[in-house]
Amino acid sequence: GQQVMQIPQYQHVQEGEDFTTYCNSSTTLSNIQWYKQRPGGHPVFLIQLVKSGEVKKQKRLTFQFGEAKKNSSLHITATQTTDVGTYFCAGPPRSSNTGKLIFGQGTTLQVKP
């Protein structure tokens, strides 16, 4: 079945350093969504990318969708302690036209002050 993989699984950075997580799908995605989950919390929607090669920015966060629509990345510039959490990418299964999402296993970010 369709798989969505994320790397790295864990990342420890010093506050102020940059951070990137990568997401790869085994099949082409119609769109990709990113969520953030704080420790002990619930996933919170960050953004959705739809177009091939799309780049979107939210303050220090930059999201990219690959040209082939099979991969995506999230880059955080100058991390802060508030960035701590697990970042998930998610996309709809190829065979489904419902809102069902397949989630990657997430990248957990730790930021040392």
**CB neighbour list of residue 14: distance below 8 Å, 6 or more residues apart:** 111, 112
* Smallest gap from residue 100 Cβ to another protein (A): 5
Token digits of residue 16: 């102020």
Torsional class of 40: left (φ above 0), alpha (ψ -120 to 50), beta (otherwise): left
- Which of these segments, 13-21, 53-61, 64-72, 92-100, binds another protein (CB under 8 A)? 92-100
Choose which of 24, 31, 62, 73 interacts with another protein (CB under 8 A).
Answer: 31
Q: Could you give the string, one character per residue 40-79, with x where binding to another protein holds by CB under 8 A and - elsewhere?
A: -xxxxx--x-------------------------------
Rg of the chain over Cα atoms, rounded to whole angstroms, equals: 14
**DSSP-derived pairing of the beta strands 43-49 and 55-58:** unpaired
Closer to another protein by CB, 31 or 77: give it: 31
For residue 73, the minimal CB distance to another protein (Å) is: 17
